[in-house]
A and B are shown apart, each in its own frame.
Chain A
């Protein structure tokens, strides 16, 4: 549905987006991640046709964004960063205006406005001036304009920014629901959001893709993924550590607590061993030696750690 190839954007001598290529198909919810200034918004602005690319192309449902912008823009609903709105209009008036510019008229327009009011929980404020709305309502008003006309593609730049936890949850479930038969690209700084909503995450840094895959797969790339967390009582810490090191599947151990009564730490398996195999091994040993296991579980890895690791390495 969206085909981005060799997309490059330069502002003067600064390269904001550097030869970026990716494609997103129907039914995918793509989380777009990266540190501030990585080029997320710039990329989204090029995909939506706001910024002309320096090089490269954006194909949207078969239409070229540069050569045939009106056709391409028809397929896209866009929520820009900071949710810009006309403060002098009412919510309903604003949505009607956008619906008209999306080519809807008469009953069709009315139905589309009603539907998006309902979808984004805006009915209580429909006749209120946008100027008088709270931040959460404003954000949802801008979100509502992006889903008018039920576009095939939704591009949302930080859709949950500035919302309270309940509103965040609502917007996330909305994205998830709509993602079933649309293409959705959204950027965020909140990594749990990616886990909760996305079928795929794309991490960019300095205008380049540095990771691309399902969240679980990316999580597994973090250094701590597959390590086993243990907390054992029954012997002095140093003794327990020595016992654990004797297990052949152990590569290394990080100690978090070691005293007379016990030991807690993180045990890394060797390359050929899975975390779960190692965990089984430790529990067998514990049973044998009559240790009390206060905790024993495999760390599946965390996106934020993985994110820090890969964005740090590229920065240094």
Chain B
């Protein structure tokens, strides 16, 4: 446990001593505002829960941002050769994986927290349902963390951050797309229609839909824990096989 904390502290420092973390956060805030006000029509919709105008767009932003934040996680270690240092220290490789992962999650957390102005705004202008906003944030955070876990698994396979970024964005794009209503409508009208429900349940979009409606279902938690757990496990396998 204390080793996880040591790795976590180092990684958080590595993120926030680097101007890039602030760029990520800034880009996220700007994009989420642009989407909310211009495309989502936040003000016209008069929707104080922020569901369709704000949270709905987060998966599309995170599919770029999470890989951008997470691409250095192992690729950078491989490139510097520090994997060798880390894995010959008396720690369990799991502790390094979890510590690094949690540190990257902090960057996403700070990005989300930096959008507080929009919450303040709807609070001032209307009478929002705070519970819905809260669960909307949880949903967005879980989506971001899932995409980060996917990125981390990819980064464990390559020493090239660019390769990791491209591949992770692609995977995150599909994970989002298969739950997107336009895609599901398209599937419904084709021979694949029996699979529509299956696709929707695989996608991160389908999972947060209930959260955005204020429902927290155990199945949702199981979904995120499973996907993140699987990605972290893949990371540990990748690190082990890359050595041999």
Contact = CB atoms under 8 A, between A and B. Distances in A.
A78 B10 CA distance: 20
Contact of B243 (A50, A76, A105): A50
Contacts, number: 73
Contact of B89 (A11, A87, A101): A101
Nearest to B99: A101
Nearest to B84: A80
A85 B82 contact: yes
B87 A49 contact: yes
B244 A70 contact: no
Contact of B85 (A70, A76, A80, A88): A80
B90 A87 contact: no
How many B residues touch the partner, as a band?
A: 20 to 34
A78 B82 CA distance: 12
B2 A100 contact: yes
Nearest to A54: B244
A84 B90 contact: no
B2 A84 contact: no
A88 B18 contact: yes
Interface in A72-115: 73-74, 76, 78, 80, 82, 84-89, 93, 97-98, 100-103, 105
B90 A102 contact: yes
B87 A89 contact: no
A176 interface: no
A51 B7 CA distance: 22
Contacts of B84: 45, 50, 80, 84
A71 to B, nearest CB: 8
Interface in B1-44: 2-3, 6-7, 10, 13-14, 17-18
B18 A97 contact: no
Interface string B78-106: 00111011111111100000000000000
Contacts of B82: 84-86
Interface string B56-71: 0000000000000000
A311 interface: no
Pairs A-B, 10 closest by C-beta atoms: A84-B81, A100-B6, A73-B90, A74-B90, A48-B88, A80-B84, A84-B82, A101-B89, A78-B88, A70-B90
Interface of A: 11, 45, 48-52, 54, 70-71, 73-74, 76, 78, 80, 82, 84-89, 93, 97-98, 100-103, 105, 142, 145
